[in-house]
Structure 1
Amino acid sequence: MEAFLVSTGVVALGEMGDKTQLLAIVLAAAFRRPWPIVAGIFVATIVNHAAAGAVGGWAAQVMGPDLLRWVIGISFLAMAGWMLIPDKIDDEDLAQRSRFGVFGTTVIAFFLAEMGDKTQIATVALAARYAQVVQVVIGTTLGMMLANVPAVFLGGKIAQKVSMRVVHAVAAIIFGVLGLLTLFNVGRLF
């Protein structure tokens, strides 16, 4: 249960203000059809995070516990720093993909935007850290949905009321704490 809860929380916070959340807002404004956008986000996320979880699970088996602890700890600390860098999206890419319809455009745009993104890398690290890869993938997918579904329905209003700097700072602190806890081998993680 810990793997699921931590994965959900970390990704939900990490996604706030992320380029894929900005993409959700842009898609909602461009297409004004929220349900196909939500479905596209879900499909793209589950496929992307399942692959990331598989990579994380594989890394946990290949590396010994000591090397894995250092790699994951440093990865989380790097994620903490990365959270402080604002994301942007490329409107030209979105316009080129619109020929695939709302759902198809969302799946393609989200899948590609998520490649190498903070939340995908976090999914790899979380899957390597916890033995319950399925719980991690379900948790990270739920975290993405918790952050992006409201963005699709309320995008403009949310952006005006929530300080992304504060959200990013909180997420950076959480990633930093997870990194330090991992490096110092605190808890029942390994």
Structure 2
Amino acid sequence: MVLSLLLSTFLTVFIAELGDKTQLATLTISGTSNKPLAVFLGSSSALVFASLLGALTGGSISSFVPEVVLKSIASITFFIIGIKLFINSFTIEKEEKEENKK
């Protein structure tokens, strides 16, 4: 049971983090320095600490907020973010077309 939770958490976070702004920031910092190991240790420590904060906060919140409410809030939040990103992709595309016409 614990191994299954560990594996599903790892896969979820790993996939969610691929190509995000944290990874791009890490890539940029690593490209401008000659110390990739230091960049790796710094960025991975930051991710571990942020994950620890999330796990501790989620654990304490779940003791007085029902699971269904937490899942609903997370679902609605991700849905809103997805819609905003979807709308912004059309806005950026439209702006690029207008700039190319000039």
Structure 1-normalised TM-score? 0.38
1:25 to 11, 24, 27: 27
What SS does the corresponding residue of 1:26 show, helix, strand or coil?
A: helix
Letter in 1 for 2:47: T
* Structure 1 partner of 2:14: 12
Which structure 1 residue ranges, 4+ long, deviate > 6 Å from structure 2? 82-85
Query: Counterparts in 2 of 1:119-138, with a 5 A limit?
Result: none
2:58 to 53, 56, 59: 56
* Structure 2 partner of 1:119: none
Q: Distance in 1 between matches of 2:58 and 2:20?
A: 22
Letter in 1 for 2:21: K
> CA shift at 1:71, angstroms?
2.2
> CA shift at 1:83, angstroms?
7.5
Query: Counterparts in 2 of 1:131-146, with a 5 A limit?
Result: none
Letter in 1 for 2:55: G
- Residues 85-122 of structure 1 show CA distances to partners (whole Å, capped at 9, x for unaligned) of 9xxxxxxxxxxxxxxxxxxxxxxxxxxxxxxxxxxxxx
More relative contact order, 1 or 2 (CA 8 Å, 6+ apart): 1
Q: How many residues are aligned here?
A: 85
Q: Which runs of 5+ in 2 are unaligned?
A: 88-102
> CA shift at 1:17, angstroms?
1.5
> CA shift at 1:9, angstroms?
1.2
Identity among equivalent pairs (%):
21
Q: Distance in 1 between matches of 2:53 and 2:85?
A: 22
* Structure 1 partner of 2:39: 37
Higher Cα Rg, which structure: 2
Q: Distance in 2 between matches of 1:79 and 1:11?
A: 17
Q: Which runs of 5+ in 1 are unaligned?
A: 86-190
> CA shift at 1:18, angstroms?
0.8
1:2 to 4, 29, 36: 4
- Residues 113-150 of structure 1 show CA distances to partners (whole Å, capped at 9, x for unaligned) of xxxxxxxxxxxxxxxxxxxxxxxxxxxxxxxxxxxxxx
